[in-house]
Amino acid sequence: MSEIYRLLNAGAVFANRLNDLQDLRTRYTVYNNPTMIKAPFGHAIHFDADNDDSVDTGRDFILTSIDSVFVWAYLDTFGDDNEGRIVDNGEFIFLVDGTNDRLRISSDGGGTWADGGTDDVPTGEWVHLGVTRDDSGTVNLFVNGAWSGAPGQASGTPAVGTTNVIIGNRNARDKTFDGAMRDLLVFNQLYTPAEVTEIMQGRMF
């Protein structure tokens, strides 16, 4: 766990490898029956859309100011209704969109959306996904360390979350992510594209 503490000391407000189900059940509320699968870099939590799996972190650490979220993901499909959630607090909604195989992000509960590039998010392989957002709601989306979609898109005025931060779903547990996640990091600071690549490569901290 020393690496997690190092990440927290470096400014992460949430850092979890998502590779130990027992640890997740101890720290958070785990709904239904996510499992652990082998990944190229260890184990990873696997969410099944048929089971409405999710992890409720018990708090809202995504603020209304500056936030960045990064995760390794392996999509089996794009989840419930082609809108599987990566993280969701009722206002900050970060998801994979199966209609156009892309990332989407909203800072105001779905009133305003910023979209990643069409066909940028694959299924059946590991991919690094990320978003950075400033305090006005302007966002940059990233896939494998590269910009996805137009930079500097509006995602709405950041609003206070209405639920805890939910991993792999939303609070109603009806937008389940379908696949695996590993190394979820949330920061209250911005990063340049070069720094995002370093985070992806594990060289940032």
What residues have CB less than 8 Å from 128, skipping those under 6 apart? 70, 71, 72, 73, 142, 143, 144, 145, 200
pLDDT of residue 11: 72
Helix, strand, coil percent values for the chain (each to nearest 5) = 15, 40, 50
Mean pLDDT (whole number) for 129-143: 98
Residue given tokens 């069409």 in the structure block? 118
pLDDT of residue 7: 56
Distance, CA of 7 to CA of 155 (rounded, Å): 27
Distance, CA of 48 to CA of 52 (rounded, Å): 7
Domain regions of the chain by residue span: 2-200
Mean pLDDT (whole number) for 118-138: 97
Class for the domain spanning 2-200: mainly beta
- Give tens-digit pLDDT for 93-119: 999 999 999 999 999 999 999 999 999
The model's pTM: 0.94
